[in-house]
Amino acid sequence: MTSFYLTVAIKLALGLISLVFVINLTGKGNLAPSSATDQVQNFVLGGIIGGTIYSSNVSILQYFVILIIWTILILLLKWLNTNIRFIKHLIDGKPTVIIKHGQLDPEACRSKGLSASDVALKLRSQGIFQLKEVKRAVIEQNGQLIVVRAGDENPKYPIVTDGVVQLEILDSIGKSEAWLNDELTKMGYDNISDIFIAEYDKGNINVVTY
């Protein structure tokens, strides 16, 4: 009996160490999951620990190897998600504009699995009861609804993120990609892929490079 509890304690300790190790290497995203990747790694680790710590058929060595494999897969997925745009969009998706200038886009809502009732509920939770009160609404990767109210002062729009031009945001502020390229060139930025984030704020562009 004593050996059973000792084995469980060792497995729990190894699981905790693995979790802390991965969090420190990949960032704190899985503490407050904002993407599918963050959610999945939490679920998988919970399944690994819950399914093996009480099983006498899985030795401590086997459990340790499983945790190593899990850690390697998570780090690989994180690297792919950060460095390959296609993989990031495939796994985590991308923000979707569902309301533009007070006009709801039913197709965009359906692509996110939202019914009219879902959208209305999300708007009411932010104190909005009419579509005409909304200038722009975006469903983020984690399902959160971000709303800019009609009449509000324009927020800082991220027109470039991770070296990628955000065409939908450019369109929402009445600008084109050609305009953006010209402005960045004037500022001395010839390669958009070198830009970590660029924000449009009251006619000015604020740039942060890698």
Task: Give the number of other CB atoms < 10 A from CB of residue 186.
Answer: 9
Fold agreement (94-149, 157-209):
yes
For the CA atoms of 125, 103, 148, 30, the dihedral, rounded to the nearest 10 degrees, stands at 60
Q: How many alpha carbons fall within 13 Å on the CB side of residue 58?
A: 17
**107 pLDDT exceeds 90?**
yes
CATH superfamily, with its number, for domain 94-149 = bsu07140 like domains (3.30.240.20)
The pLDDT mean for the chain works out to: 83
**pLDDT tens by residue, 8-37:** 888 889 888 888 888 787 765 555 556 667
Band (pLDDT 50/70/90 cuts) for residue 65 is very high
Band (pLDDT 50/70/90 cuts) for residue 151 is confident
**pLDDT tens by residue, 87-103:** 777 777 778 889 887 78
154: DSSP letter: P
Burial 87-118 (b: 16+ CB within 10 A, else e): ebeebbbebbbbbbeeebeeebbeeeebeeee
For the record, the structure tokens of 197 come out as 């984030």
Domain boundaries, the chain: 2-91, 94-149, 157-209
* Sequence-ordered list of residues with C-beta below 8 angstroms from that of 175, at least 6 positions apart, any chain: 159, 200
**154 pLDDT exceeds 70?**
no
Identify the CATH assignment for 157-209 out of 2.40.160.10, 3.30.240.20, 3.90.1640.10, 3.40.50.720. 3.30.240.20
Which whole number is the average pLDDT over 100-115? Answer: 88
Q: Do residues 81 and 88 touch, judged by C-beta distance below 8 A?
A: yes
Helix then strand count (H, E) for the chain reads 8, 8
Coil, helix or strand for 86?
helix
